[in-house]
Amino acid sequence: MAKYARSPLAPEAFPELPVIKGARFASHAAGVKYQGRTDVMMVALDAGSSIAGVFTKSSTRSAPVLDCQEKIGGATDEGAVILVNAGNSNAFTGKAGVESVQAITTSVSDLMETPISRVFTSSTGVIGEPMKHDRIIAALETLKGKLDENGLEDAAHAIMTTDTYPKGACATFEVDGKTVNIAGIAKGSGMIAPDMATMLVYIFTDAKIDQADLQALVSAFTDSTFNCITVDSDTSTSDTLLMAATGASGATVSHDTKAFRDALHDVMLDLSHQVVRDGEGAQKFVTINVTGARNNAQAKVHAMAVANSPLVKTAIAGEDPNWGRVVMAIGKSGAEADRDLLTIRFGDILVAEKGWVSPDYKEEQGAAVMKEQEITINVDLGLADGSSTVWTCDLTHTYIEINADYRS
């Protein structure tokens, strides 16, 4: 159970996820760190499942991340298993961390009769503490016995750390007269500034798709979803996104299948927004739109500078329409900007233009926007046609409380 109150930005309820044929799920309380709650989940995938993944680019990434990176892109004719634990990230644990991964993957391989090259693990939680992998290994037999195609929601609970709610999203559509389902879960609340966040994502589909095509889509869509969110500008050592396609629906898709592309992007965007909505201590969901940049890459630099600014985020938390802080963030970003071409809007309210506050702007207009739970900040640089949209949340005192006692 979450220690802190459920985020006010959370969805009303966990979605009813469709069954993904060819995938079975189990969860168990192994006592890795937490007592009295599930903290390990297992996924068993049918033979022939394609698996794609994207991972943190952190220079201090964890042993499970390094192991998964080596395995992605391998043969797909055998079954596969994903095993995830919460409470300990098995990061910055040196040789012991590698040995923990080897012990867990070997045990899973033996029990599930799956090649070790098709056993993928993830760990999330405290950095720098030795993994009590014997507790996970002791739970494997129980997990195997619990495997069920309806267990994905329980799995979403099992991977939580400081999350205040489990995160799920899904889509169902038709391809050549056959029904295709996509369902995904995610965890993430703090240490969120993905560079591929502590963020874990697992997405499953019963479509049949070549591994290279699946990898191309997952990589591309990560850039416009999970790589466009930030809670606190910190990139985790453990960020992992794994997607599996079982092929059990009988429908074949490719990189160019529009219905599949649209549905997958929607699921990934939904999950990424839910991570921001559960940002530690978040009270407001903020969209930053930057247009008129020299190119899209520079637009994103500007947008992330605004989204990551503690001064911008605390102003939003205090419902202070301090547009000067947006000007500051644009100016410090390092991307090209011209003060006298800059236009800023809070929602639809024109706040500043041509290097100065708009003559028609009234402070109470901006203040009214800042009282809303969902806020949009629009910045036009007036240089060219580059654009970017990113999502963030406000920065409240609860963020400090959560992270001050995170290990206690």
pLDDT digits (tens, 9 = 90+) for 217-241: 999 999 999 999 987 655 556 688 9
Cα(80)–Cα(247) distance, rounded to whole angstroms?
A: 13
Question: In terms of Cα–Cα distance, which of 108, 80, 85, 76 is closest to 37?
Answer: 85
Provide CB contacts within 8 A for 20, sequence distance 6+. Answer: 149, 152, 181, 182, 183, 204, 205, 206, 246, 248
Q: Which residues pair with 343 in a beta bridge?
A: 353, 380
pTM for the predicted model, two decimal places: 0.93
Closest to 125 measured CA to CA, from 25, 216, 242, 37: 37
Q: What angle do CA 320, 231, 289 make, to 5 degrees?
A: 65
Q: How confident is the model at residue 34 (pLDDT cuts 50, 70, 90)?
A: confident
Of residues 189, 240, 131, the one with CA closest to residue 401: 189
Name 80's Cβ contacts closer than 8 Å, sequence gap at least 6.
Answer: 44, 45, 49, 51, 114, 118, 119, 120, 244
**Could you give the count of Cα atoms lying within 13 Å of 344 in the half-sphere of its Cβ?**
27
Residue 312 has pLDDT above 50, yes or no: yes
pLDDT of 406 higher than 70: no
From CA 386, how far away is CA 364, in angstroms rounded? 31
Whether the predicted pLDDT of 208 surpasses 50: yes
Backbone torsion region of residue 292, taken as left when φ is above 0, otherwise alpha when ψ lies between -120 and 50, otherwise beta: left
Torsion angle of C-alpha atoms 88, 90, 91, 96, degrees rounded to 10: 140
Residue 194: its pLDDT value, please? 53
Is 56 catalytic? The answer is no
- Altogether, the residues listed in the chain come to a count of 408
The tens digit of pLDDT for each residue in 87-119 reads 888 888 889 999 999 999 999 999 999 999 999
Catalytic annotation, pick one of 124, 198, 205, 396: 198
Q: What is the DSSP letter of 281?
A: T
φ, ψ dihedrals at 27, nearest 5°: -135, 155
Q: What is the rounded CA–CA span in Å between residue 13 and residue 162? A: 18
Cβ proximity of 90 and 123 under 8 Å: yes
Strand 40-45 with 285-293, pairing = unpaired
Q: Which two tokens stand for residue 405?
A: 């006692």
Q: Which has more pLDDT, 382 or 77?
A: 382
Torsion over CA of 223, 225, 231 and 232, rounded to 10 degrees?
A: 0
Tokens of 338: 């011209």
User: Quick one: 31 exposed, middle or buried, by C-beta within 10 A (0-12, 13-18, 19+)?
Assistant: middle
Rounded Cα gap, residues 288 and 58, in angstroms: 25
Task: Give the distance from CA 142 to its chain's centroid.
Answer: 28
* Stretch among 170-179, 182-191, 345-354, 357-366 having the lowest mean pLDDT: 182-191
Residue 251 near residue 178 (C-beta atoms within 8 A): yes
Average pLDDT on 210-220 reads 97
Does residue 403 have a pLDDT over 70?
no
Query: 189: pLDDT confidence band, cut at 50, 70 and 90?
Result: low
Contacts of 111 (CB under 8 A, 6+ apart): 140, 141, 144
Query: What is the DSSP secondary-structure string of 358-370?
Result: -TT--HHHHHHHH
What's the order of all strands across the beta sheet hosting 50-55? Answer: 50-55, 240-245, 200-205, 178-187, 167-175
Segment 262-271 mean pLDDT:
98
Average predicted confidence (pLDDT) for the chain: 91
41-50, 61-70, 80-89, 399-408: which has the minimum mean pLDDT?
399-408
Average pLDDT over residues 331-348: 96
